[in-house]
C-alpha cells in the first residue's frame, strides 16, 4: 500500500476495491484490543498466549502506516521497498500468535473455552492471508519502480513470475498451517479466513487483468483465477480431512499432537 506518486500500479497489485478488506481487518483488531481490557478476557489463558504477539503485530502495523504515509516525502521512489520487510514484521507475529493461541485452545478443550474465538480466529486468519498477498504485491511494486526497471525487465513479466511464486507459497502455507493446528478446533475457521483473504486478492487481480489488451497481462489474470480456484479446492479437501481426523481423535491425543 501507500502513495506511488502517480506511478501506475503493476499488474500484480489487486484492483482498488480489494483494499476494502482493511475495513473488517482493522475493525476486528480494534474490537480485540478493546476486549483485552475486560476482566473476562484478561483471565483467558489462550488470549494470554496471544497478547504479546498481537501487540507486536499492531506496533508493526503502526510503523507500516507511518512509512506508507510519509516516507515518499523524504525518500521519493526509494521508499517503496521498505514496505516489504515491514509486512514481514506484521506477518511473523500474527502467524506466531495464531499458532500459540490455537495450541492453548487445544490444551483447554477447544474454542468454547476461549472468549471471542470467532472474532480472534477470523481476524487473525484474514489479516495473515492479506499480509501474505500484500508482500508479493509490494515486491512487484518495488521491482516495477523506475530505479529497478532501469536494470531491465517488464512489469508484466515480473508480476507473472511473482504470481506463480505467490500461488506456491499460499499452497505451502495452507498445508503447513493445517498441519500445525490440525488438533485445534479453531483450525477450520482460521484456515478459511486465511485462504479467503488470498482468494479475495487473486480474484481482484484477475478482474483487473483479464480485460487488459496486452496478452501477458491477460494471461496473468486468467492464472490468478485458476490459482484462486485451486486454493478453494485445496482448502475444502484439507478441512474435510481435518474434521474427519478430529472426530476420530480423543482430546488427549489432540493435545499430544500439538506438543510434537
Mean pLDDT of 249-257: 49
Surface-to-core class of residue 119, CB atoms within 10 Å of its CB (0-12 exposed, 13-18 middle, 19+ buried): middle
Residues 143/158, Cβ–Cβ less than 8 Å: yes
Alpha carbon 71 to its chain centroid, in Å, reads 24
CA neighbor of 15 nearest in space, from 186, 168, 224: 224
CA neighbor of 175 nearest in space, from 255, 242, 109, 82: 242
pLDDT in tens, 208-248: 998 877 788 889 999 999 999 999 999 888 878 766 665 66
**3-state secondary structure (DSSP) of residue 222:** helix
User: What pLDDT is recorded for position 154?
Assistant: 66
CA neighbor of 173 nearest in space, from 158, 193, 157, 159: 193
- In this predicted structure, the answer to whether residue 86 has a pLDDT above a threshold of 70 is yes
Selected residue with higher pLDDT from 54 and 248: 54
Grid coordinates standing for 129? 492471508
Grid coordinates standing for 59? 506496533
Mean pLDDT of 91-108: 84
Grid coordinates standing for 125? 486468519
Give the CA distances from residue 139 to residues 94, 119, 167, 208, 237, in Å, rounded to whole numbers and listed in that order: 20, 30, 15, 18, 30
Residue 144, C-beta contacts closer than 8 angstroms, at least 6 positions apart: 10, 155, 158, 159
Whether the full predicted model's pTM is greater than 0.85, yes or no, is: no
Amino acid at each position: 500500500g501507500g502513495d506511488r506518486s502517480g506511478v501506475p500500479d503493476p499488474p500484480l497489485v489487486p484492483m482498488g476495491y480489494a483494499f476494502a478488506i482493511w475495513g473488517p481487518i482493522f475493525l476486528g483488531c480494534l474490537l480485540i484490543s478493546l476486549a483485552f481490557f475486560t476482566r473476562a478476557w484478561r483471565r483467558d489463558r489462550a488470549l494470554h498466549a496471544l497478547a504479546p504477539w498481537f501487540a507486536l503485530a499492531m506496533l508493526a502495523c503502526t510503523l507500516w502506516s507511518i512509512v506508507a504515509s510519509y516516507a515518499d516525502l523524504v525518500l521519493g521512489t526509494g521508499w517503496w521497498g521498505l514496505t516489504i520487510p515491514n509486512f514481514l514484521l506484521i506477518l511473523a507475529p500474527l502467524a506466531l500468535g495464531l499458532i500459540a493461541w490455537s495450541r492453548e485452545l487445544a490444551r483447554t478443550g477447544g474454542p468454547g473455552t476461549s472468549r471471542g474465538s470467532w472474532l480472534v480466529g477470523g481476524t487473525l486468519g484474514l489479516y495473515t492471508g492479506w499480509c501474505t498477498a500484500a508482500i508479493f504485491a509490494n515486491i512487484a511494486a518495488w521491482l516495477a519502480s523506475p530505479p529497478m526497471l532501469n536494470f531491465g525487465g517488464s512489469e508484466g513479466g515480473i508480476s507473472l513470475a511473482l504470481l506463480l511464486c505467490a500461488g506456491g507459497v499460499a499452497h505451502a502455507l495452507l498445508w503447513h498451517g493445517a498441519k500445525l493446528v490440525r488438533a485445534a478446533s479453531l483450525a477450520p475457521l482460521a484456515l478459511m479466513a486465511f485462504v479467503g483473504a488470498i482468494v479475495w486478492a487473486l480474484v481482484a487481480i484477475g478482474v483487473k487483468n483479464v480485460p487488459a489488451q496486452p496478452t501477458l497481462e491477460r494471461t496473468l489474470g486468467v492464472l490468478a483465477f485458476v490459482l484462486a480456484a485451486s486454493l478453494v479446492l485445496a482448502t475444502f479437501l484439507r478441512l474435510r480431512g481435518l474434521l474427519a481426523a478430529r472426530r476420530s481423535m480423543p482430546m488427549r491425543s489432540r493435545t499430544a499432537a500439538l506438543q510434537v
